[in-house]
């Protein structure tokens, strides 16, 4: 081709560029400007480490009862005292982190996947696909999220268990409590996707008007490639922010479901379950920590993930070039 | 002619995460009564920051006027308090901006926006203010001003909105009108309308004008004197005729040679200014 | 292709032929039942040709339909009616894969060098993608081609792994030009390629476009609102007003002897960087604003602002777009 023979024309000056910073370095530089986001990140990391390492961190098993040592105040043996069945409160708090670490990310991942998929379809195809998905999300939006999750969990649990009992292989699952996890994750995902679908759809709709998408069309780049190589990567930053914020929401929702008695059942420890179980201590000024400790942890995590979301938002915003 | 504005050694800096930006770096110039001064420069040359400094409208933080004097009608604007400055702004000097849509409040009618300044600065009652506002709109060539005064900004076209902005700027008979690229967002026929209008008003009212632009051609028929800014500094200052006939600074020469002319006789290769303008920090 | 051009063959046959081109954007009301309440007649009946190797300038004010015209030629907007011939092929009849194959031969350079490059792709990805999807080159060969293209547009090939935001406006526009050149096209629509750039950078890009035209024998449709720039770069110039071409002539003829009152007013409104000339010039100041393209005026669409309008101008039919002699086309009752 003719172009291959061309030499650089003399007199055309090659411009200089500022020194290169690695994208990750650049990301971290921008992220850490938000101090609260860094604090949030530390709290979140602590949560993950605790959840993964709970068997080694917790001094007792979460089921270990000691009826000779019920309702003990904090001591060296039991840093947060014991509950009405003589279970070590601190150990149960640590184990509950594992419960939350299984439920919240799973629910978020499923919800995000659904939201991303539906949002992309609605935004890219438009027309009746868009209308059906959006009306469905309107319906879901019309219910208070928690109430709807409650409804799903309550109706799903018995049917799901019955269905699993039909098969030899799945029978033991019902007893082991895995079903509860599945039900809670399903309920939370079902409630979680519409918001994200709307966000993604809005992103795609506005990105579709960008000149670089028009440029891709002018270059004859196939539609699926435009969708996944050009639209999706540019729509992701707000999605990542939403995932972070969603994590906090999912932790709170899981605790709320357990608090309301739907969802993760005792003896599997859950912060929400601990709060309802320890509710009886509300009037006993001698042991307020039993109520406060799980509540504070949930609150701290919700804040932490929101701060992370704020930090990500600032660090990922390409319009804000500083 | 009497000296209206005297800017001496003005320095404005922005303190950002990535260091100090010397946006205006020792700029001096003056404007006489009734004179039209053109300031020409590219984006980042500091021309807008210069006039915002004169109006004391630099967002702070991150911006700060670090030194210099701005003598307007005998007073140093950098030494008076905010209360006095508000009196100067809008009353003695007025500013019109590039984007007439964002500088008008979309939820107020044109009447509400013009009469506010008249009642505030000139102490008119509502009836007087409305009469004066209609008079101003007629002066800037808005047809059916009596009815249009009750319209909202979005009901006007871009050129008409800029006329409204000019009417608002002129409401209190300022001695100095600062125009920051007021025609850049407009089409060339509308630009011609606005330039004609401002020239007519200048002759009628006798105010001085600072007209900021990146378009050197525009100033040829408009300005008495021109200063050329580059990277936060004034690189050339001369009478309008001299800038075009006998430019001295290489940057000014470069600017003149890099723009094609409408009356170009033969197609000659343009002489670009090579490279990229330096960042001012 | 290049050999044919060098021999001068095909000079007579136009590369692009536009016939009766119309692009209407429907206006609808209602959420569930969408009623069609009108059309924005962005482009309302154009006929013109672009010869091989020439630059046709297309000027007009914002909203006159010049950008829509460029996009309709490239089939980025599908025309409401009319034909666009690329050589012998009617582009308006092509769909899917056939149209995609034709895209190799016609390209576009965009106005906004910031928004027209994908911020999440490297320069190599942006310029190399067309090579890949059209199966021209991949892997190491693609990389070499991309570096070659960067060199051609005056960028350092070393910057292949950089992202668009690391470049200045002028450099980004060069990236956009390299991308348009990647497929070795015959025809490029330049949609206001310099109006977003600083004055001192504009000349660099104009010179680059001129050099590339000479080297590769490119044909340009150069869309701009700046009449001085259009005069400089074009061989012939078309003036658009409210969805129609009102005048088309070669550059010298159009600028020295404009026939249409709109062209005359447009030219008189452009400032000239010379105070002495400016002091003597007679400006034709047009009254009012451009009418809405949803409901253009009856008769000649310019009559509402025309200083010379006669009774016949206010009546249908519109003045015909005809040759006034020597390839100087104009649509005005004063001339015909």
Query: Which of A24-33, A107-116, A199-208 shows the lowest per-residue confidence on average (mean pLDDT)?
Result: A24-33
pLDDT the model gives residue C77: 92
Q: Do C199 and B258 touch (CB under 8 A)?
A: yes
Subunit contact C231:B42, Cβ cutoff 8 A: no
Pick the closest to residue A270 from A253, A254, A281, A282 (CA basis): A254
Which residues of chain A are within 8 Å of residue B275 when distances are taken between CB atoms?
13, 15
Residues 6+ apart with CB under 8 A from A149: A187, A188, A190, A191, A253, A257
- Which residues are paired to C14 by β-bridges? C51
| Residue in A15, A33, A322 closest to B276 by CB | A15
Q: What would the pLDDT profile of C35-73 be if each residue is shown by its tens digit?
A: 888 888 999 999 999 999 999 999 998 889 999 999 999
Asked if B93 contacts B55 with a C-beta cutoff of 8 angstroms, the reply is yes
| Portion 176-215 of B in contact with C at CB < 8 A | 187-193, 196, 214-215
% helix, strand, coil for chain A, step of 5: 70, 0, 25
Chain A contacts in chain B segment 16-75 (CB below 8 A)? 16-18
Pairing of strands B233-239, C322-323: unpaired
Instruction: Note whether B220 and B239 are within 8 A (CB).
Output: no
Q: What percent of chain A has pLDDT over 90?
A: 11
Subunits with at least 3 CB pairs below 8 A relative to chain C? A, B
User: In this complex, is the C-beta atom of B242 within 8 Å of any C-beta atom belonging to chain C?
Assistant: no
Is residue A102, in this structure, part of any structural domain at all? yes
How many domains does chain A fold into? Answer: 1
The span from the CA of C184 to the CA of C208, in Å, is 16
Query: CA–CA separation, B216 vs B212, rounded Å?
Result: 10
Give me the mean pLDDT over the C14-29 stretch.
Answer: 91
No. of helices (H) and no. of strands (E), chain B? 10, 10
Q: Is residue A186 part of a domain?
A: yes
Q: What angle do CA A172, A173, A178 make, to 5 degrees?
A: 155
pLDDT for the residue A258: 83
Report which of C178, C177, C188, C224 is spatially closest to residue C86, judged by C-alpha positions: C188
What's residue C1's pLDDT?
38
Residue A1 belongs to some domain of the structure: no
Touching check for C235 and chain A: CB below 8 Å?
no
Asked, for residue A41, whether it belongs to a domain, the answer is no
Residue C183 touches chain A, beta carbons under 8 Å: yes
Q: Is the pLDDT of residue C5 over 50?
A: no
Backbone angles phi, psi at B217, to 5 degrees: -60, -40
Residues of A within 8 A of B281 (CB-CB) are none
pLDDT in tens, C298-329: 999 999 999 998 899 998 888 999 998 889 99
- Inter-chain CB proximity C104 and A220 less than 8 Å: yes
Per-residue confidence (pLDDT) for residue C8, from 0 to 100? 40
| C136/chain B closest Cα distance in angstroms | 33
SS3 assignment, position C304: coil
Task: Name every chain C residue with its beta carbon within 8 A of the beta carbon of B270.
Answer: 203, 206-207, 232
- Asked if the Cβ–Cβ distance from B17 to A13 is below 8 Å, we say no
The torsion defined by the Cα of A94, A100, A106 and A109, in degrees rounded to 10, comes to: -110
CA dist C152 and C137 (Å) reads 18
Domain range spanning residue A289?
Answer: 49-55+78-320
Hey, is A86 helix, strand or coil?
A: coil
Asked if C179 lies within 8 A of A215 by C-beta distance, the reply is yes
Interface of A with C in 4-33 (CB under 8 A): 4, 6-9, 12-15, 17-18, 20, 23
Residue C294 has pLDDT above 90, yes or no: no
Helix (H) or strand (E) holding C323: strand C322-323
Residue A256 lies in a domain: yes
Residue in A closest to B18 by C-alpha = A322
C148 and A4 within 8 Å at the Cβ level: the answer is yes
What's the number of CA atoms in the CB half-sphere (13 Å) around residue B224?
Answer: 14
Do the chains contact at A33 and B274, CB–CB below 8 Å?
A: no
pLDDT at B275: 63
What is the C-alpha to C-alpha distance for residues C244 and C81, in angstroms, rounded to an integer? 14
- For B80, the 3-state DSSP assignment is coil
Put simply, the answer to whether B276 touches A33 (Cβ < 8 Å) is: no
- Residue B266: C-alpha distances to residues A99, B262, B263 (Å): 80, 11, 9
- Is the separation of the CB atoms in C155 and A14 below 8 Å? yes
Q: Which of C273, C288, C304 should be substituted to probe chain B, the one whose Cβ sees the most B Cβ atoms within 10 Å?
A: C273
CB distance A70 to A86 below 8 Å: yes
The tens digit of pLDDT for each residue in C117-152 reads 998 899 999 999 999 999 998 889 999 999 999 999
**Which residues of chain A lie closer than 8 angstroms to C184, CB-CB?**
1-3
C134: burial class by Cβ within 10 Å (0-12, 13-18, 19+)? Answer: middle
- For residues B268 and A52, which has the higher predicted lDDT (pLDDT)? A52
Q: How many residues does chain A have?
A: 322
Phi, psi at B228, each rounded to 5°: -110, 125
Confidence at A272, pLDDT banded by 50, 70, 90? confident
Query: Is A24 within the bounds of a domain?
Result: no
- Whether residue A14 is predicted with pLDDT greater than 60 in this model: the reply is no
Option in C273, C275, C289 nearest B159 (CB): C289
* pLDDT beyond 90 at C331: yes
The per-residue pLDDT string of chain B (281 residues; one tens digit each, 9 = 90 and over) reads: 688 999 999 999 888 777 788 889 899 999 999 899 999 998 888 899 999 999 988 887 788 888 899 999 888 998 888 888 888 887 889 888 887 667 788 888 888 888 888 888 788 888 888 998 998 888 888 888 888 889 888 888 888 888 888 888 888 888 999 999 888 878 888 888 888 888 988 888 889 999 999 988 899 989 999 999 998 999 999 999 999 999 999 999 988 888 888 887 767 788 877 766 555 44
Handedness of CA C173, C178, C181, C182 (dihedral sign): negative
Q: What is the mean pLDDT of residues A25-45?
A: 88
CA nearest to B49, candidates B93, B11, B105, B102: B11
The shortest C-alpha distance from A83 to chain B (Å) reads: 52
Question: What ipTM was reported for this prediction?
Answer: 0.85
**CB-CB neighbors (< 8 A) of B274 in chain A:** 13
User: Which of C148, C167, C168 is the closest to A3 by Cβ?
Assistant: C148
Question: Cα–Cα distance between C262 and C259 in angstroms, integer?
Answer: 9
Question: DSSP secondary-structure letter at C257?
Answer: S
With the C-alpha atoms ordered A98, A100, A104, A110, is the resulting torsion angle positive or negative? positive
Q: Are C300 and C44 in contact (CB under 8 A)?
A: no
CB within 8 Å of A84: residues ≥ 6 apart: A70, A71, A277, A280
Phi-psi region of C244 (alpha: psi -120 to 50; beta: other; left: phi over 0): beta
Positive or negative, the CA dihedral C33, A205, A116, A47 is: negative
Q: Is residue A149 part of a domain?
A: yes
Note whether B274 contacts A16, CB cutoff 8 Å: no
Write out chain B residues lying below 8 Å of C271, CB-based. Answer: 215, 217-218, 220-221
Of B17, B274, B276, the CB nearest to A33: B17
Q: Is C203 in the A-facing interface, judged by CB distances under 8 Å?
A: no
Mean pLDDT of chain A: 81
For chains B and C, CB pairs below 8 A equal 126
Helix (H, G, I), strand (E, B) or coil at C238: strand
What is the spatial distance between Cα A200 and Cα C47, in angstroms, rounded to a whole number?
42
What is the C-alpha to C-alpha distance for residues C72 and A60, in angstroms, rounded to an integer? 73
Q: How many CB atoms lie within 10 A of CB C69?
A: 29
pLDDT of residue A8: 37
Chain C residues in contact with chain B using a Cβ-Cβ cutoff of 8 Å? 61-62, 168, 170-171, 198-204, 206-207, 210, 225-229, 231-233, 255, 265-279, 281, 283, 285-286, 289-290
According to the model, what pLDDT value does residue A318 have?
55
Spatial CB neighbours of A283, under 8 Å, sequence gap ≥ 6: none
For C189, nearest residue in chain A (alpha carbons): A218
In angstroms, the CA C224 to CA C205 distance is 14
**B181–chain A nearest CA distance, Å:** 24
CB-nearest partner of B217 from C61, C210, C272: C272
What pLDDT score was predicted for residue C192?
92
**CATH number (domain holding residue A89):** 1.10.3720.10
Report whether C109 contacts C188 (CB < 8 A). Answer: yes
Q: What is the mean pLDDT of chain C?
A: 89
Residues of B in contact with C200 (CB under 8 A): 42, 254-255, 258, 272-273, 277
Least Cα distance to B171 among B86, B85, B92 occurs for: B92
CA distance C40 to chain A (A): 18
C6 has a pLDDT exceeding 80:
no
**Could you tell me if residue A303 is inside a domain?**
yes
Name the residue facing B16 among A15, A16, A322 (closest C-beta): A322
């Amino acid at each position: 081709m003719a172009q291959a023979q061309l030499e650089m024309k003399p007199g055309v000056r090659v411009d200089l560029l500022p020194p290169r910073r690695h994208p990750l370095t650049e990301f971290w530089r921008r992220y850490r400007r938000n101090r609260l986001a860094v604090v949030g990140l530390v709290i979140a990391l602590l949560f993950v480490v605790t959840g993964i390492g709970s068997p080694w961190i917790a001094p007792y098993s979460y089921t270990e009862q000691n009826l000779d040592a019920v309702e003990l105040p904090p001591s060296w043996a039991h840093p947060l005292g014991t509950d009405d069945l003589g279970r070590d409160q601190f150990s149960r708090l640590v184990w509950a982190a594992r419960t939350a670490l299984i439920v919240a990310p799973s629910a978020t991942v499923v919800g995000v996947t659904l939201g991303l998929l539906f949002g992309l379809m609605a935004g890219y195809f438009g027309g009746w696909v868009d209308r059906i998905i959006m009306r469905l999300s309107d319906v879901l939006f019309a219910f208070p999220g928690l109430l709807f999750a409650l409804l799903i969990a309550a109706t799903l649990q018995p049917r799901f268990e019955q269905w699993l009992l039909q098969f030899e292989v799945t029978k033991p699952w019902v007893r082991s409590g895995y079903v509860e996890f599945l039900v809670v994750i399903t309920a939370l995902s079902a409630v979680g996707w519409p918001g994200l679908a709307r966000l993604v759809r809005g992103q795609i709709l506005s990105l579709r008007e960008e000149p670089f998408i028009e440029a891709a069309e002018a270059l004859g780049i196939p539609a699926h490639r435009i969708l996944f190589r050009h639209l999706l990567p540019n729509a992701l930053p707000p999605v990542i922010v939403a995932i972070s914020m969603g994590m906090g929401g999912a932790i709170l929702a899981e605790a709320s479901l357990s608090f309301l008695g739907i969802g993760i059942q005792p003896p599997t420890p859950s912060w929400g379950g601990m709060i309802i179980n320890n509710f009886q201590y509300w009037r006993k000024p001698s042991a307020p920590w039993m109520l406060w400790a799980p509540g504070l942890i949930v609150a701290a995590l919700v804040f932490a993930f929101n701060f992370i979301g704020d930090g990500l938002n600032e660090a990922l915003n390409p319009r804000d070039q500083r | 002619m009497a000296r209206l504005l005297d800017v001496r050694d003005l320095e404005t800096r922005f303190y950002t995460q990535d260091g100090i930006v010397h946006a205006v770096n020792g700029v001096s110039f003056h404007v006489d009564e009734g004179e039209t001064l053109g300031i020409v420069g590219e984006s980042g040359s500091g021309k807008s920051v210069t006039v915002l400094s004169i109006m004391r409208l630099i967002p702070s933080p991150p911006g700060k006027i670090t030194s210099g004097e701005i003598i307007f009608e005998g007073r140093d604007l950098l030494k008076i308090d905010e209360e006095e400055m508000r009196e100067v702004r809008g009353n003695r000097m007025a500013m019109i901006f590039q984007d007439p849509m964002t500088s008008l409040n979309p939820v107020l009618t044109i009447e509400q926006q013009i009469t506010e300044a008249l009642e505030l600065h000139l102490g008119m009652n509502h009836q007087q203010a409305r009469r004066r506002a209609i008079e101003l709109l007629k002066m800037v060539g808005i047809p059916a001003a009596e009815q249009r005064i009750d319209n909202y900004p979005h009901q006007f076209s871009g050129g008409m909105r800029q006329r409204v902005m000019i009417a608002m700027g002129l409401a209190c008979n300022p001695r100095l009108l600062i125009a920051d690229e007021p025609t850049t967002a407009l089409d060339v026929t509308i630009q011609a309308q606005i330039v004609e209008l401002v020239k007519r008003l200048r002759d009628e009212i006798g105010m001085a004008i600072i007209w900021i632009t990146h378009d050197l051609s525009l100033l040829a028929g408009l300005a008495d004197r021109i200063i050329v800014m580059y990277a936060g500094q004034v690189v050339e200052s001369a009478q309008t005729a001299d800038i075009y006939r006998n430019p001295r600074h290489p940057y000014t020469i470069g600017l003149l040679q890099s723009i094609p002319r409408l009356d170009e006789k033969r197609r000659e290769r343009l002489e670009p200014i090579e490279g990229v303008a330096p960042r001012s920090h | 292709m290049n050999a044919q051009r060098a021999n001068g063959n095909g000079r007579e046959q136009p590369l692009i032929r536009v016939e009766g081109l119309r692009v209407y954007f429907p206006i609808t009301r209602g959420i569930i039942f969408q009623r069609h309440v009108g059309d924005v007649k962005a482009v309302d009946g154009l006929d013109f040709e672009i010869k091989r190797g020439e630059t046709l300038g297309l000027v007009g004010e914002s909203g006159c339909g010049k950008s829509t015209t460029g996009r309709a030629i490239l089939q980025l907007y599908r025309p409401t009616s009319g034909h666009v011939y690329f050589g012998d092929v009617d582009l308006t009849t092509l769909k899917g894969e056939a149209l995609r194959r034709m895209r190799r031969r016609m390209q576009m350079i965009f106005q906004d060098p910031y928004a027209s490059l994908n911020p999440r792709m490297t320069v190599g990805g942006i310029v190399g993608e067309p090579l890949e999807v059209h199966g021209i080159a991949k892997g190491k060969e693609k990389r070499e081609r991309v570096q070659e293209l960067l060199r051609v547009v005056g960028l350092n090939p070393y910057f292949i792994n950089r992202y668009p935001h690391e470049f200045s406006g002028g450099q980004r526009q060069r990236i956009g030009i390299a991308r348009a050149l990647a497929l070795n096209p015959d025809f490029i629509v330049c949609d206001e390629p310099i109006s977003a750039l600083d004055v001192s950078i504009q000349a660099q890009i104009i010179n680059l476009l001129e050099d590339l035209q000479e080297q590769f024998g490119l044909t340009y449709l150069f869309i701009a609102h700046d009449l001085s720039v259009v005069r400089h770069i074009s061989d012939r110039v078309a003036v658009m007003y409210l969805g129609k071409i009102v005048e088309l002539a070669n550059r010298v003829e159009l600028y020295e002897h404009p026939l249409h009152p709109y062209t005359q007013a447009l030219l008189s409104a452009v400032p000239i960087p010379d105070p002495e000339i400016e002091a003597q010039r007679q400006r034709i100041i047009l009254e009012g604003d451009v009418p809405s393209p949803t409901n253009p005026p009856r008769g000649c669409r310019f009559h509402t602002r025309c200083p010379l309008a006669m009774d016949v101008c206010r009546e249908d039919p519109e003045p015909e777009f005809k040759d006034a002699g020597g390839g100087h086309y104009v649509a005005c009752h004063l001339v015909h």
